[in-house]
Amino acid sequence: MRAIRRLMVRTVLPEPLAALGDLVTNLRWSWHQPTQELFSAVDPGLWDEVGHDPVRLLGEVTPERLAELAADPAFLGLVRATHDDLQNYLTEARWYQDADGRAPAGIAYFSPEFGITHVLPQYSGGLGILAGDHLKAASDLGVPIIGVGLLYRHGYFVQSLSREGWQQERYPVVDPDNLPLVRLREQDSRPAQITVGMPGGRTLTAAIWLAHVGRVPLLLLDSYIEDNGPAEREVTDRLYGGSREHRLLQEMLLGVGGVRAVRAYCRITGTPAPEVFHTNEGHAGFLGLERIRELVEERGLTYEAALEFTRAGTVFTTHTPVPAGIDRFPVDLVQRYFGGDNASGGLPIEQILALGGEDYEGGDPAVFNMAVMGLRLAARANGVSTLHGEVSRGMFAGLWPSFDEREVPIGSITNGVHAPTWVAPEFLRLEEKAIAGGGWKSATTTVSDRDIWTTKRQLRERLVDGARARLRASWEGRGASEAELGWIDDALDPDILTVGFARRVPSYKRLTLMLRDPDRLKALLLHPERPVQIVIAGKAHPADDGGKRLIQEMVRFADDPEVRHRIVFLPDYGIGMAQELYPGCDVWLNNPLRPYEACGTSGMKAALNAGLNLSIRDGWWDEWFDGTNGWDIPSAEGVADPDHRDDLEATAMYELFENEVAPRFYDVDADDIPRRWVEMLRHTLTSLGPRVQATRMVREYVDQLYRPAAVSSRALNADFHGAASLADWKERVREAWPQVGVDHVESTTVDTFERGQTLRLHAFVSLGPLTPGDVDVQVVHGPVDDNDTLREPAATAMAVSEEYGDGRCRFDGEVHLDRTGAFGYTVRIVPRHELLGDGAELGLAALPG
């Protein structure tokens, strides 16, 4: 029988316990151990039963128990103290409140996924976890961020295994009424909604759910509402599923609808409008189109001026060098959704298509590229590690053809992780006790070897217990009978060197590299004195059969009775499992195909839990491996045959385990402590501890991107006069550019060049209708290769010395010859304007001949 109506019956908390409700709806509990302990005290057995989900806890606790607690002065005191602590956390001045007045009044942060806690399954992997950590660190620092995302009614998927080891996917319904979310409501308490126009006169409407991530509001758009037709209702069905068209609809809702949700939130709560909009990967890029539309239709700007203003206040972060990770839509699909009867007056479809067009060498004219649009709609862009910044500059260099790769305006900020979320409470306590003295350095020197080592043993044991339970559940799901599962009680061992490998399963991460030589791996696992055990987890994208085959290969190996007590695959990797896994592992293994791992963050979490990284030098590890804080697997990059490359890298990995890792781990003294291993842990904590934190990352975003973006958008904002004049100037420069050129260059004549000399140059240039103030004339110089190509060119400005009329001028400059060897130079003209973010911004440069 089906019910005709569905109601949510909520627990009514007795008045003395009302504060518990606030503690549940603010997600600070997810990284605040004392609040979790308070929840546990409500009913310890039930707390475990409901999987540490406080909403379910309060939903299922008996009224008798609540009445008992409401009369317990000790419990009430604890509730009050925890609630006061939260109120302080939410209101006291923090780092940002000391920042100068140039910092933005608000920042809107858009992401297709957010990984905040295991009870909000709205993420698939690293991108979402990073977004969650970004919001949490922003909250800790007092940064006024508003998060914007979608609420997927089936989240990502729940992973299990078939008997044969094939990945199975389940999509349980996520009911927002059972989540720590509240509806955003208008003052008259009607639910707030936003709409996005669709072709054919239809509309897509979404409700707005609000999660409180400490001080940071997170707005989640939800299309499952009665006002929508059946098709529109399905838009927020699941994360990263469905057709291209479905994906486009999700991204329209996220980008366009997201801006409208931010406007509604600010209006209802009286929050200042964000001055900066940050798009975490290209998926939310349509937010720029909506901001342009607002300025044209509501403020009367021209399209060009609106584009300038939008660009100035937008930050774009690219997250992957893997082409498949970049969203590309057929041009006609974008045309159908943003053109025709759904076109908006202020935003001609031709302009939109131009923004995402791959109109560069090697581009595909039939494709609309979200990353390309992201770069064109944001004056500031970055990759997520130093190496990834470099790789991204190469990848997108086609957009700036007149410039050297190094000059491509994409910088980098290396990712970080939110320590209170990821560090085991036992370690946090150890570290806090010692940190009270003064910083990481002291923390890692004053804690004794014994304390570190016994804590690590404890955490390894917890991992082993948890892994056995997961293994048992997995085997039961695979159809094994209880009688077959006795071996699980002895699977894994809390005193054996424990290696972790858990992450999504795209091919570049090479889940199965360790299986390259199965006998050698077996020998490692079964070594009589120095055995190794490996815990593995990871989900393959539901449409990725290649990834599922890798999982199956891994599972089959781990099913072998000879090794199954030493190597396990745990299904359904997620935040909850990750929080057990990192602290329990001694070594965190990462073997991606360099340079496809843009940053990688799981190794950072392992490091903060006194785990040692053993990794290919890719992403963050390329930057911060220092020779003694872990191990690097030498990359065989450049070996063209992928099989041969895998062989070389796998062999190097086995050798490290055999010759360095295992011998050091088992080299214990009379007190049973491996001193040299603990020494490496200490060094890992001191060298990486402060750097891998998300607070360091968010401070860099504020200082390097958010503040400069706010400053330049304010400069354009005096009645938008600045934006209009910058747009006019750009148009004038683009029109004049064919007349701009370097006519000829003279240098001081010397016969021999010696190091230490200065070369004086005169450049005779034509500027057409432009003035010397509109341009930078530069000497571009540096070492040259055999083809006279400048390697690592540097640019030095020249100064105007004479004007001859008709736009012809002479510029003078100098180059200091500060190194020996083949050297070359050229002269280049680029546009210059005080409001222009970067010399390469227009992509225009004039060179001799």
Ligand X SMILES: *Cc1c(COP(=O)(O)O)cnc(C)c1O
Q: Which residues sit at the interface with ligand X, rule CB under 6 A?
A: 125-126, 129, 503, 573-575, 578, 600-602, 605
In whole angstroms, how close is the CB of 439 to ligand X at the nearest point? 25
What is the dihedral sign for C-alpha 423, 429, 435, 440?
Answer: negative
What is the dihedral sign for C-alpha 316, 317, 322, 324?
Answer: negative
In whole angstroms, how close is the CB of 508 to ligand X at the nearest point? 11
Which of 418, 828 has the CB closer to ligand X? 418
In whole angstroms, how close is the CB of 394 to ligand X at the nearest point? 22
Q: CA–CA separation, 120 vs 135, rounded Å?
A: 14
Inter-CA distances, 195 with 20, 218, 449, Å: 35, 19, 59
Partnered with residue 805 across adjacent β-strands are: 808
In whole angstroms, how close is the CB of 542 to ligand X at the nearest point? 16
Cβ count near 806 (within 10 Å): 10
Which of 590, 778 has the CB closer to ligand X? 590
Which of 261, 537 has the CB closer to ligand X? 537
In whole angstroms, how close is the CB of 26 to ligand X at the nearest point? 22
**Which amino acid makes up residue 328?**
R
Render the burial of 352-376: b for 16+ CB within 10 Å, e for the rest.
bbebbbbeeeeeeeeebbbbbbbbb
Residue whose Cβ sits closest to ligand X = 602
In whole angstroms, how close is the CB of 60 to ligand X at the nearest point? 26
> Which H or E element spans position 205?
strand 203-213
Which of 125, 339 has the CB closer to ligand X? 125
Which of 116, 575 has the CB closer to ligand X? 575
Instruction: Note whether 183 and 209 are within 8 A (CB).
Output: yes
> Which H or E element spans position 432?
helix 425-446
In whole angstroms, how close is the CB of 156 to ligand X at the nearest point? 10
Which of 206, 384 has the CB closer to ligand X? 384
Which of 425, 768 has the CB closer to ligand X? 425
In whole angstroms, how close is the CB of 462 to ligand X at the nearest point? 17
Which of 578, 740 has the CB closer to ligand X? 578
In whole angstroms, how close is the CB of 131 to ligand X at the nearest point? 11
Which of 118, 299 has the CB closer to ligand X? 118
Which of 421, 778 has the CB closer to ligand X? 421
> CA neighbours within 13 Å on the CB side: how many for 173?
6
Q: CA–CA separation, 35 vs 151, rounded Å?
A: 25
Partnered with residue 150 across adjacent β-strands are: 221
In whole angstroms, how close is the CB of 500 to ligand X at the nearest point? 10
In whole angstroms, how close is the CB of 488 to ligand X at the nearest point? 24
Q: CA–CA separation, 623 vs 568, rounded Å?
A: 31
Q: CA–CA separation, 800 vs 294, rounded Å?
A: 42
Burial category of 754 from C-beta neighbours within 10 Å (exposed 0-12, middle 13-18, buried 19 and up): exposed
Inter-CA distances, 28 with 36, 155, 183, 537, 604, Å: 10, 21, 18, 27, 21
Which of 653, 767 has the CB closer to ligand X? 653
The radius of gyration of the chain's CA atoms, rounded to the nearest angstrom, is 29
> What φ, ψ does residue 782 adopt, rounded to 5°?
160, 180
Alpha helices in 447-544 (DSSP H): 449-477, 518-525
Nearest one of 312, 317, 266, 265 to 292, comparing CA atoms: 312
In whole angstroms, how close is the CB of 113 to ligand X at the nearest point? 11
Q: In what order do the strands lie in the sheet with 775-783?
A: 794-797, 775-783, 823-831
Which of 373, 598 has the CB closer to ligand X? 598
Alpha helices in 635-785 (DSSP H): 642-656, 662-665, 675-688, 694-700, 707-715, 721-736
Nearest one of 343, 196, 339 to 259, comparing CA atoms: 196
Which of 288, 583 has the CB closer to ligand X? 583
DSSP, residue by residue, 576-616: HHHHHHHHH-SEEEE---TT--S---HHHHHHHTT-EEEEE
In whole angstroms, how close is the CB of 110 to ligand X at the nearest point? 20
What DSSP character marks residue 344?
B
In whole angstroms, how close is the CB of 600 to ligand X at the nearest point? 4
Q: CA–CA separation, 245 vs 221, rounded Å?
A: 18
In whole angstroms, how close is the CB of 245 to ligand X at the nearest point? 28
Which of 559, 580 has the CB closer to ligand X? 580
Q: CA–CA separation, 610 vs 498, rounded Å?
A: 12
Instruction: Note whether 170 and 160 are within 8 A (CB).
Output: yes
What is the dihedral sign for C-alpha 688, 690, 693, 698?
Answer: negative
Which of 99, 577 has the CB closer to ligand X? 577
Which of 427, 453 has the CB closer to ligand X? 427
Tokens of 659: 């010759």
Strand pairing of 775-783 and 794-797? antiparallel
Which of 196, 578 has the CB closer to ligand X? 578
Nearest one of 232, 252, 219 to 370, comparing CA atoms: 252
Cβ count near 21 (within 10 Å): 15
Which of 125, 584 has the CB closer to ligand X? 125
In whole angstroms, how close is the CB of 325 to ligand X at the nearest point? 12
In whole angstroms, how close is the CB of 709 to ligand X at the nearest point? 26
In whole angstroms, how close is the CB of 588 to ligand X at the nearest point? 9
> Which H or E element spans position 54?
helix 54-60
Contacts of 577 by beta carbon, 8 Å cutoff, 6+ apart: 466, 470, 502, 537, 570
